[in-house]
Amino acid sequence: MRLRQIALAVSDLESTAKALNTAFGLGIAYRDPAIIHYGLANALLPVGGEFIEVLTPVRDDVTAARFLARHGDAGYMLIFQVGDAERERARIAAMGVRVVDDLDRPSYRAAHFHPKDFGGILCSVDQQRTVRDHLDPYGDWQPAGRSWRDTGSGEVTGLKAAVLASPDPAALASRFSALLDRPLDASDALRLPLDRGELRFVAGDEPRTSLSAIELTLADASLGGREARIGGVRFKAVG
């Protein structure tokens, strides 16, 4: 299992994308016209072979618009790439988690799960059916279009971690461990390692789960330490 994409919901897409470019050299590789179906506009910014998605509602009656009205700019969604999305969907749904969106195409399979059932944040398990190895660092990724490999900072090489804040981080960690069918780190019960990337859990000030931070991996560890708050989330470049 791989943390392949993290989405931010923001009121100003262009200024948020520009801030990511200024702080970390990330560039827009793709804007998906299909998500107008959800009342959204977006931009995909490659982070090595993973992605930051910036999205904004273009209608007031969609979920993301209500989310923004309640929380302001904030982390919105985690997307996990798996080798068999159908199997993962069935396993998670059997735990009583509601599926709120299903996408089943010859090249791509995805299932989105209700945030209230999935630890408090919108999550999806996705399979890119055109690749044999879902852990291939630069394998195909339909949400980012076909030419995303041509856009990248060259300096930022991947998503290291998503940090989730909760009033009860231990309970949230245990919930995600069960939902993703992955064991917590034996030496750190607030860390959930994946095959690529990881989740970490911290105490938060709000009575809800929120995405508090995103850590980006750098090719040159000596350049680590840069931080910026963008889209309601703290970004940090690490070695």
Specify the 3-state DSSP secondary structure of 64: helix
Residues 6+ apart with CB under 8 A from 17: 26, 28, 43, 45, 54
**Is the per-residue pLDDT at 154 higher than 90?**
no
Answer yes or no: CATH 3.10.180.10 is held by domain 2-238: yes
What pLDDT score was predicted for residue 226? 85
What pLDDT score was predicted for residue 223? 60
What pLDDT score was predicted for residue 153? 66
Mean pLDDT over all residues of the chain?
95
Longest dimension (CA), the chain: 46
Mean pLDDT of 159-172: 97
Residues 6+ apart with CB under 8 A from 229: 235
What pLDDT score was predicted for residue 155? 84
145 Rama sector, left if φ>0, alpha if ψ -120 to 50, beta otherwise? left
Mean pLDDT of 219-238: 86
List the structure tokens of 105: 């195409």
What pLDDT score was predicted for residue 46? 96
DSSP 98: P
pTM for the complete prediction?
0.96
| Environment class of 62 (CB within 10 Å of its CB; exposed 0-12, middle 13-18, buried 19+) | middle
Whether the CB-CB separation of 53 and 8 falls below 8 Å is answered with yes
Mean pLDDT of 87-100: 97
- Domain positions in the chain: 2-238
Q: Which helix (H) or strand (E) is 40 found in, with range? A: strand 40-47
Whether the CB-CB separation of 76 and 55 falls below 8 Å is answered with yes
Distance CA 10, CA 18 (A): 13
Residues 6+ apart with CB under 8 A from 235: 20, 23, 24, 213, 214, 215, 216, 227, 228, 229
**Is the per-residue pLDDT at 128 higher than 90?**
yes
Distance CA 167, CA 33 (A): 37
What pLDDT score was predicted for residue 71? 95
Distance CA 32, CA 37 (A): 10
List the structure tokens of 20: 């990511």
Instruction: List pLDDT tens digits, range 8-66.
Output: 999 999 999 999 999 999 999 999 999 998 999 999 999 999 999 999 999 999 999 99
Distance CA 94, CA 113 (A): 12
* Percent of the chain's residues with pLDDT above 90: 90
**Is the per-residue pLDDT at 222 higher than 70?**
no
More confident residue, 106 or 226: 106
